[in-house]
Amino acid sequence: MSPAPAPGRLHHLLQIEGLGRELLFQLLDTAESFLPVTQRAVKKVPLLRGKTVVNLFFEPSTRTRMTFELAAERLSADVFSLDVAHSSTKKGETLLDTLRNLEAMQMDLLVVRHPLSGAAAFFAAHAAPHVRVLNAGDGRHAHPTQALLDLFTIRRHRPDLGELRVAILGDVLHSRVARSQIAALRLAGVREIRVGGPRTLLPPALESLGVQVFDCVEQALADVDVIITLRLQQERMQGGHLPSTAEYFRRFGLTEQRLRRASPEAIVMHPGPINRGVEIASEVADGERSVILEQVSNGVAVRMAVMALALGAEPAPAEA
């Protein structure tokens, strides 16, 4: 079992809730210091040399898995990604036995994505004291590093976080990303958080989180500074949520026409993968307000920051 974490320091990262404002901004500032590393000719610092990072992805992933891998490489860690589809999990090995075996290989940091909410917390609860666990998405529960890279991207465009109106559009019900984003935006003190989408895809009691709820996208978009679109997570739906994807796009999709409701300087975000013509029009996804690919680039620096701080390797200013 892991010991109680030291207050104010990053231990495991399972969710945004409970992080604390100071640590949130320390993570963002550390990511800022790593950003130049990810862009220069030699994209490496020796901070995690000798450490072993394991990526354990029980669900499909392109951006999250690759950027976690890259982040570990940029920090000079040894990193390997278990191909779960071809691992002993398929032969009935339990999560606990998988963990014990990875620990026997002297791993230091485990990055977990799993379809069950609470899976990352399970690993954290059973990990050896020196092992750190990072949640790369568990069921509908949380995706904290995505929320951090989203907040990081917002802050690079609009440092005046306390002034911002942010709209999160679409399938909030099935979105671990939205849950973590709302927690991060609240902790960062943004002025207004709105969610917009069909009632069938908005979880109950959102208002109790201090969020404004709209089932009319036009209203949700009025004068906002940041628009976050979400993928329609049809793999998590049992049916009955929607008439059709075409109808969804017609009523709720982010089109150029709807974008005009927002502030003229508004940025458009999406965690990916994008379903073009479902939650967002191609012209908007590829348009001049879109920062979607910047989110991906920033994901490397943010995940470097999370890994470095979780393993207690704080970068000296000269290393940035």
Whether 258 is a known active-site residue: answer no
Q: Is 113 annotated in the active site?
A: yes
Catalytic residue among 74, 114, 132, 143: 143
Residue 315 touching ligand NCD (CB under 6 A): no
Helix, strand, coil fractions of the chain, as percent rounded to 5:
45, 15, 40
Residues 210, 152 contacting (CB under 8 angstroms): no
Q: Which of 12, 38, 51, 64 is labelled catalytic?
A: 64
Closest residue by beta carbon to ligand NCD: 231
* Closer by beta carbon to ligand NCD, 114 or else 231: 231
Residue 76 and residue 44: Cα distance in Å, rounded?
6
Q: Report the nearest approach of ligand NCD to the CB of residue 150 (Å).
A: 10
Residue 191's contacts (CB-CB under 8 Å, 6 or more residues apart) are: 162, 163, 164, 165
Do 137 and 176 form a contact (C-beta atoms < 8 A)? yes
Q: By C-beta, is 47 or 254 nearer to ligand NCD?
A: 254
Q: How far is the CB of 281 from ligand NCD (least distance, A)?
A: 17
Binding ligand NCD (rule: CB under 6 A), the pick from 12, 51, 231, 258 is 231
| Cα 269 from Cα 228, distance rounded (Å) | 5
For residues 172 to 201, the per-residue mask of contacts with ligand NCD, x marking binding by CB under 6 A and - elsewhere, is: ----xx------------------------
91 has catalytic annotation: yes
Are 134 and 111 in contact by the 8 Å Cβ rule? The answer is yes
- The token duo for 74 is 């940029």
Binders of ligand NCD in range 127-156 (CB under 6 A): 137, 143, 146
- Distance of closest approach, residue 300 Cβ to ligand NCD, in angstroms: 13
Counting contacts by CB under 6 A, is residue 63 touching ligand NCD? Answer: yes
40, 86, 90, 91: which is the annotated catalytic residue? 91
Burial 73-107 (b: 16+ CB within 10 A, else e): bbbebbbebbebeeeebeeeeebeebbeebbeeeb
Q: Measured between alpha carbons, how far is residue 179 from residues 139, 142, 171, 175, 193 in Å?
A: 11, 6, 11, 7, 12
Question: Does 64 participate in binding ligand NCD (rule CB under 6 A)?
Answer: yes
Q: CA–CA separation, 211 vs 228, rounded Å?
A: 14
Token output for 116 = 């069950």
Shortest CB 216 distance to ligand NCD, Å:
23
Q: Interaction with ligand NCD in 82-101: which residues (CB under 6 A)?
A: none
Write the interaction track for ligand NCD spanning residues 266-285; mark x where CB under 6 A is met and - where it is not. -----xx-------------
Least distance between ligand NCD and beta carbon 144 (Å):
11
Least spacing, CB of residue 140 vs ligand NCD, in Å = 9
C-alpha distances (whole Å) from 17 to each of 35, 148, 180, 183, 306 are: 25, 12, 8, 6, 15
Q: What is the token pair recorded at 28? A: 């963002």
Choose, from 63, 186, 276, 289, the residue flagged as catalytic. Answer: 63
* Residues with catalytic roles: 63-64, 91, 113, 143
Q: Which residues bind ligand NCD (CB under 6 A)?
A: 63-64, 137, 143, 146, 176-177, 231, 233, 271-272
